[in-house]
Structure 1
Amino acid sequence: MAEVQAEGMSGLYWGRLNADVAGQWAALTNELARVDETGEFYDAADLAEELTETGMTPEHDTWAVWDGDKLVAYGQLRVGFTASSDGTFRCDLAGGVLPEWRGRGIGRRMMDEMEWRAGEVNAWRNAGAPGTFRASGGRIGSSASAMLEARGYQIARYFTLMERPLPGDALPGQPNGLPSPTPGDSEDVRVAHNAAFADHWGSAPMTPERWHDFYAGRPARPQFSTIARDESGVTSYALVSQYLPDELFIDLVGTVPRARGRGLAEAVLSRSITLAGRVQGVRVLGLEVDSESPTGADRLYERLGFVPKHTTSAMTRPA
């Protein structure tokens, strides 16, 4: 479970995450979601699956801090395989420390180690190309944002969580004939997603392997997802996931540039909203939107009954 006792941190031990401690990891992340009011809740099986993602080496890319048998902090690193539009490779640093253990230098040490490891992975994975560290600053005024700012990170973007009650008000003009995606649609949807997000901040093309991790992952709910096609392929999509028993979440929604302006995003979303509203026990449908989305997506979401809940920041620094 634990590897090394931390100097100057009496009683704390540093180790790595693995499937055997996924239950404690879930308890930690869900407590952080409550106290920091981020709404980012996960279950143990979903977290365990993250340890099997393409490019993830848990014994090097995760961190676990224990006080006795209690997991009090964690870290998790993902380094991209493809460059963003600015030519850099994204290095996502995630983690958190329970409030009672903050102020002891745990977060600083973890960031030191994650940044070093991210630079190492990016150097050999992406032939020394420049990287960008990216971490969530949480809600405005959070302790995470203060720590990141002290390390030279700056707020690059704000993201707003929006929710729609289910079933909610009926949507007019329900579309007919739009299907849910199948396993056989995976590559066509990936190609469409890469095209749709090419002009979105911080986005990089998804490789087939990384796409499979998402598209076929445990949280995916294709039965509530929707795609639109024309003779050239998938033109628009809304992909739904489930992280909590009483909530569904639209992880990705997009329209390829050549098909914008035809109302396709509204059509796929409307169908998925309607399908989600028929599920017994599910009370809310959520999504997250970039506050500076180039497509003006927030206006569409509001028209479909989504309301803003809270805003978090994405903070970055050159690697």
Structure 2
Amino acid sequence: MSAVLPDTFTVRPPTKDDAKAVFELVRDYTQAVVGFPDYTLDDAVDELTEPGFEPETDGWLVFDGDRLVGYGSVFGKGEFRILDIDAVTSDPAVEAYLLAEITRRGREMSAAHGHPMAQLDTGCYRLDTTRRERLDAYGFVQGTTFHRMRIDHQPPVPAPEPPAGVFVRRGTPDEASQREAHRVLVESFTGQYGFEARSFEEWHAAREAQTTFDWSGMTLLEIDGRAVAVRECTSAFLEDENCNYIGHLGVLDEARGKGLAKYLLRDQFALDAAAGRSGTLLHVDTNNPTPALGLYLSVGMTESLVIDSMRLTVDV
């Protein structure tokens, strides 16, 4: 994969000061594709400042004169087996350039971590059929599909009672509870598509740096003093949709079948309605080994957006 930009175009790495320009570029793209701005300034700031992201080598801004026309990034975490990438532009030539640079850098990153292949993942709105066709031509294949699920709240929403024998720990303000949340997340999500386990230190640093995250948004369920389920919420959709966002919801194998996930969902709906939130959002992998989509439908959530996860695998 290779591409050359017009001579009048310039390229440089991004900095935090570019967050507003990146936000406007991505906002305009999402507005054109899905009909609303599915991106916020906080999203841009978090991407450009996430611990582990090295903008000098792993980010690209493409300008036509003074106008930003393309933004690309590649980011690895955990053992770097999977790299998250993004290439946002309305210009196919700029997209080809960004993907070529991302692929080159992805090969370097994977090789540095001892992997024989680079696996590059990106999301593509199901509605963006022209971009999907271009990704297919580049060699990307669909790995899974994520559905954005939503429920709108009409207060009052009754708060559910916890299942028998379950203790609810709201918030994880100290290291011990944070380590428990990390353990449950890793154990419950390992094996799912695209999940890359991170060390506690890496995961903790990422949460601390995230603009829309607070440890008060983490909830643990305990049985016999042991954490067996976790719910992680952020305000990622508060600014644009007045909705709370469930970023992760996991239940350990040993505790499944006890109604814990359904309780965590209904409990969050009640909390969000009481706080004046218009609704609650989350993303679900429809190829999840657990029947997650049916769970969310059963509590009244409906599909609001479909995003295909596309993967390019290249030798290093």
TM-score normalised by structure 1 residue count: 0.86
Instruction: Give the match for residue 12 of structure 2.
Output: 15
Unpaired runs of 5+ residues, structure 2, are none
Q: Deviations over 1:83-129 (max 9, x none)?
A: 6xxxxx101111210x3xx23x10011000001101101211x2234
- SS of 2:85's equivalent? strand
Per mean C-alpha deviation after superposition, the further-off stretch among 178-187 and 263-272 is: 178-187
Please say if residues 178 and 227 of structure 1, whose CA atoms lie closer than 8 Å, have aligned partners that are also in contact. yes
Tell me, in whole angstroms, the C-alpha distance in 1 between the residues paired with 2:35 and 2:186.
27
Q: What is aligned with 1:86?
A: none
Q: Is residue 147 of structure 2 the alignment partner of residue 160 of structure 1? A: yes
CA pair 8-122 structure 1, distance change in 2 beyond 3 A: closer
State the Cα deviation string for residues 10-69 of structure 1 (Å, max 9, x = none): 532211111111111111121122112186734334422333323211111111112233
Distance 1:54 1:236 in 2: 26
Mapping 1:227-246, distance limit 5 Å:
227-231=220-224, 233-243=226-236, 244-245=238-239, 246=242
Residue aligning to 1:318: 313
| Among candidates 185, 193, 199, match of residue 207 of structure 1 | 199
Q: What's 1:96 paired with?
A: 88
Q: Which moved more, 1:64-73 or 1:163-172?
A: 163-172
Contact 1:221 1:239 in 2 (8 A): no
Number of equivalent positions: 303
Alpha-carbon distance change, 145 to 229 in structure 1, aligned in 2, over 3 angstroms:
same
1:63-212 aligned at under 5 Å gives the runs 63-82=60-79, 89-97=81-89, 99=90, 102-103=91-92, 105-124=93-112, 126-167=113-154, 170-171=157-158, 173-175=160-162, 178-184=168-174, 185-212=177-204
The verdict on how the C-alpha distance between 1:168 and 1:118 changes in structure 2, with shifts beyond 3 A counting, is farther
Q: Is the CA contact (8 Å cut-off) linking 1:26 and 1:42 kept in structure 2?
A: yes
| Two-structure CA RMSD over aligned residues (Å) | 2.4
Q: Is the 8 A contact 1:174 1:270 kept in 2?
A: no
* Residue in 2 that maps onto 1:283: 278
Deviation, structure 1 residue 298: 1.1
Matched, 1:250 2:242: no
Cα deviation 1:223-267 (Å, max 9, x = unaligned): 444220234632111111112421221111110111111111112
Question: Which segment is superposed worse, 203-212 or 107-116?
Answer: 203-212
- Please list the CA deviations of residues 257-315 of structure 1 after superposition, one character each: whole Å capped at 9, or x if unmatched: 111111111122222221111223x3121111111221111111112221011211111
Specify which of 47, 51, 56 is matched with residue 48 of structure 2: 51
Name stretches of at least 5 consecutive residues in structure 1 with no aligned partner: 1-5, 84-88
| Structure-2-length-normalised TM-score | 0.87
d(CA) in 2 for partners of 1:141, 1:49? 25
Equivalent residues of 1:17, 1:62 under 8 A apart? yes
Question: How many angstroms does 1:215 deviate by?
Answer: 3.0
For 1:113, the aligned partner's letter is: E
Shift of 1:174: 3.5
Question: Aligned residues: percent identity?
Answer: 21
Change (3 A) 1:78 1:110: same
Residues 186, 215 of structure 1: 8 Å contact kept:
no
Give structure 1 regions of 4+ aligned residues with deviation exceeding 4 angstroms. Answer: none
